[in-house]
Amino acid sequence: METRPKTHQQLDSEIARLERELGEVRALLASHAERPWAAAAPGEGQQPYYSLLDQMLIGFACCQVLFDGDRPYDFIGLAVNKACEVLTGLKDVVGRRASEVVPGLSQSDPKVLEILGRVARTGVPEKVEMYLEALGVWFSAVLYSPRQDHFAAVFEVVSDRKLAEQQLRQREAELAHISRLNVVGELAGVLAHELKQPLHAINNYVRGAQRRLQKPNAPPGADALIEVMDQVAAEVGRATGIVEHVRDFVGPRVPRRTSVRIAQLLRRAAELLQPLARNKGVRLQVAAATDLPTIQADPIQIEQVVVNLATNAMEAVAGLPPERRRVTITSYRATDDAVEIAVRDRGPGIPAELGERVFEAFVTTKEGGLGMGLAISRSIVRSHGGKIWLVQRQPHGAAVHFILPLTAVPKEPKV
């Protein structure tokens, strides 16, 4: 059914009626003459109650809802206490429409208007938690209707609690993800062990066939078959190496420090990362100085740092034009007693407001990220007596550097 717009005469009549009702509510709820909405002082027996209302730490507001047919479209403030002004940050609301005090309220928060209108029209009290988009604040409120088309709200701001609940749910989801990763790691170790046996068997069969083909009575063309089998044996050996590498990387182990050649470690890490790089269309380059001295470190832990940093870099550039989908891993002599490794990308960089906070636990720039990779990397580097830091690149990109001493000083890791 189409609703006809109200005439000026009808609007003037409605405003006059609202002003009369406003005066009645002012007289009822005013606590003292200096309050902006006071019209008359209460009786002597009522004074303690009105003083209490104005001293409450929780907000109070009494309003009249304006309807267009059955649809609430605005409301007028009739009375508020001091806490209401403090909690909402709104001033001079009495006698004014909400759409004047908070422009765009009906567009940004139609659900809130629906709730307030329902209480005002039905008279049934409700206890609600609602987010006011126009103010960016969560409220917990109890709503009453003192008279037809009016509501009274007693409320408090619960934005901090809502944020804490959201963070708790996110942490629970992250812990569940970590638990699943632990299971995957155990399964990967078992799978690697199971695959190793048939790979060894294939290698043995290939070598046996080669020996037969090398006998004097071998059929014609045996030399060509032997060459093919050499290639098969080489690929089987490479597959076995990959399986053993994956098993060592994901399997449970006790940290153990040995003499590590950085160039060899970076090549092993690149082999592990190449499938991910191909999948994301990223060019992964390793530029490792070959004359670096060995360092005393846990090779799997340092490899994990490189893999973490390179994975972050590849994810940062994955959606960019091809010329920027490049990640470079370099190593060089930092000082006489330390080597430096850097992972560079050409991505969008790290937001300036985060800075070194990216190394803190649960801080992430990735949607759905755990925020643990860089924290774990920092913990590992520190446990080896090194340090790790972020460098913003110009005109775009980021680089993470870390230094490792040649002889690591044991430290307690801190995430």
Q: Tell me whether residue 167 is in a domain.
A: yes
pLDDT value of residue 341: 94
Report the pLDDT averaged over residues 103-110: 87
Whether the per-residue pLDDT at 399 is higher than 80: the answer is: yes
Q: Tell me whether residue 103 is in a domain.
A: yes
pLDDT value of residue 38: 35
pLDDT value of residue 170: 74
pLDDT digit string (tens) for 300-322?
A: 888 888 988 998 899 889 888 98
pLDDT value of residue 126: 93
Q: Tell me whether residue 286 is in a domain.
A: yes
**186 with 130, same domain?**
no
CATH number of the CATH domain containing 46: 3.30.450.20
pLDDT value of residue 64: 94
Whether the per-residue pLDDT at 9 is higher than 70: the answer is: no
Q: Tell me whether residue 1 is in a domain.
A: no
Whether the per-residue pLDDT at 101 is higher than 80: the answer is: yes
CATH number of the CATH domain containing 273: 3.30.565.10
Whether the per-residue pLDDT at 40 is higher than 60: the answer is: no
**87 with 137, same domain?**
yes
Report the range of poorest mean pLDDT among 40-44, 124-128, 130-134, 257-261: 40-44
Whether the per-residue pLDDT at 96 is higher than 60: the answer is: yes
Whether the per-residue pLDDT at 23 is higher than 80: the answer is: no
pLDDT digit string (tens) for 375-396?
A: 888 888 988 889 999 888 777 7
Residue that terminates a domain, selected from 203, 237, 252: 252
More confident residue, 188 or 291: 291
pLDDT value of residue 401: 94
pLDDT value of residue 227: 80
Whether the per-residue pLDDT at 118 is higher than 90: the answer is: yes
**210 with 310, same domain?**
no
Residue that terminates a domain, selected from 234, 252, 270: 252
Residue that terminates a domain, selected from 157, 176, 199: 157
Q: Is residue 196 very low, low, confident or very high in pLDDT (cuts 50, 70, 90)?
A: confident
**72 with 169, same domain?**
no
**71 with 152, same domain?**
yes
Q: Can you read off the two tokens belonging to residue 196? A: 């190793």
Q: Is residue 184 very low, low, confident or very high in pLDDT (cuts 50, 70, 90)?
A: low
Q: Tell me whether residue 341 is in a domain.
A: yes
More confident residue, 163 or 188: 163
More confident residue, 332 or 169: 332
**266 with 174, same domain?**
no
pLDDT value of residue 63: 94
State how many domains the chain has.
Answer: 3
pLDDT value of residue 35: 42
Q: Tell me whether residue 206 is in a domain.
A: yes
Q: Tell me whether residue 351 is in a domain.
A: yes
Report the pLDDT averaged over residues 174-194: 63
Whether the per-residue pLDDT at 34 is higher than 60: the answer is: no
More confident residue, 277 or 233: 277
More confident residue, 233 or 326: 326
**166 with 146, same domain?**
no
**262 with 119, same domain?**
no
Report the pLDDT averaged over residues 289-308: 87
pLDDT value of residue 204: 82
**260 with 389, same domain?**
yes
**201 with 151, same domain?**
no
More confident residue, 304 or 330: 330
Query: What range does the domain containing 32 cover?
Result: 8-157
- Mean pLDDT, the chain, integer: 79
Report the pLDDT averaged over residues 238-260: 72
Whether the per-residue pLDDT at 106 is higher than 90: the answer is: no
More confident residue, 283 or 360: 283
Whether the per-residue pLDDT at 412 is higher than 60: the answer is: no
How far apart are alpha carbons 144 and 123 in whole angstroms? 7
pLDDT value of residue 39: 35
More confident residue, 351 or 98: 98
How far apart are alpha carbons 31 and 36 in whole angstroms? 10
Q: Tell me whether residue 2 is in a domain.
A: no
**274 with 409, same domain?**
yes
Q: Can you read off the two tokens belonging to residue 146? A: 């003192």
CATH number of the CATH domain containing 184: 1.10.287.130
**130 with 149, same domain?**
yes
